[in-house]
Amino acid sequence: MSEQLVYIDGAFYPKAEAKVSVFDHGFLYGDGVFEGIRAYHGKVFRLEPHIKRLYESAKAIGLIIPMAPEEMSNVVIESCRRNGIANGYIRLVVSRGVGDLGLNPYLCPKASVICIAASIQLYPAALYQTGLDIVTVATPRNHPEALNPRIKSLNYLNNIMAKMEAIRAGVQEAIMLNLQGYVAECTGDNIFIVRNGALITPPATEGALEGITRGAVIDLAKKKGLDVREERMSRFDIYTCDEMFLTGTGAELIPVVKVDGRQIGDGGVGPVFQGLLVDFHELVKFDGAPIPGLA
């Protein structure tokens, strides 16, 4: 394959030449928003919801994106086409752009758009069969009125600090609680449990990102006739549930078999997760925006 190409503000650059200014406020202050998107079988999965969420995040922080949503979608598709990404991961970034060394975002004349189409592997393949062992960490999820977790911003220090706690505990993922002590999400994934026959996930109002994969799983579960609920969740609910799994663009669906030293269910990968995983793999075969020449 030829050298990877990265889209930056209207042009494609070889990976080694893909650079942004040190005065870009995305670099200096984490001032910007992003989306992680997947391509499967020559199609960009649920591209429209991803683009909609990107623009909503930008609006929430007062960031004007210098192109229409349709053009942004074309950037994603063209990035995949030029890099031959039929199955892979796309990182779409909009930063505040170049400014001075002060905080004032209004001194950044124009936002910058970057699109990287490549690949990702968050967890070892074996863990999708055996399940994750995870812990609850002390770092709480951001307060919604400080930096709302529904904004997919470039400032991920909250998640990174929680991830560091997880790694120091010898695991790869961690549960983050909100300031009231209820379950919000993991450092990079949404949370689902199966308890008393219902599939339950914390609502966005508890500090969870409205994940695109999360939404797809909710849709699939409802089609299967499952009792799906978005409701407040405590660690007690997790410790006593029958199954648990995580969802995310990078992780897809991955089971959890132990939390804070407590076995989940019978300690194995549960049937609800297994059925939804099969359904998800079927869904991504046809649900998506075609990539010319790769679909």
Give the residue numbers annotated as catalytic, written as ranges: 152
∠253-255-261 over CA atoms, to 5°? 145
How distant is the alpha carbon of residue 189 from its chain centre? 6
Q: CA 253, CA 192: separation in Å to the nearest integer?
A: 10
Cα dihedral 167, 22, 63, 89, rounded to 10, equals -50
Task: Supply the DSSP string of 60-127, one letter for each residue.
Answer: HTTPPPSS-HHHHHHHHHHHHHHHT-SSEEEEEEEE--B--SSS-GGG--S-EEEEEEE----S-TTH
Q: CA 80, CA 89: separation in Å to the nearest integer?
A: 9
Q: CA 150, CA 145: separation in Å to the nearest integer?
A: 11
Supply φ then ψ for residue 58, to 5 degrees: -60, -45
**Bridge partners, residue 114, by sequence:** 8, 93
DSSP SS3 for 44 = strand
**H or E element in which residue 176 lies:** strand 174-177
Q: CA 172, CA 135: separation in Å to the nearest integer?
A: 9
**H or E element in which residue 33 lies:** strand 32-40
Report which of 74, 63, 72, 76 is spatially closest to residue 109, judged by C-alpha positions.
63
List, in order, residues 6 or more apart from 57 with CB less than 8 Å away: 33, 150, 151, 152, 153
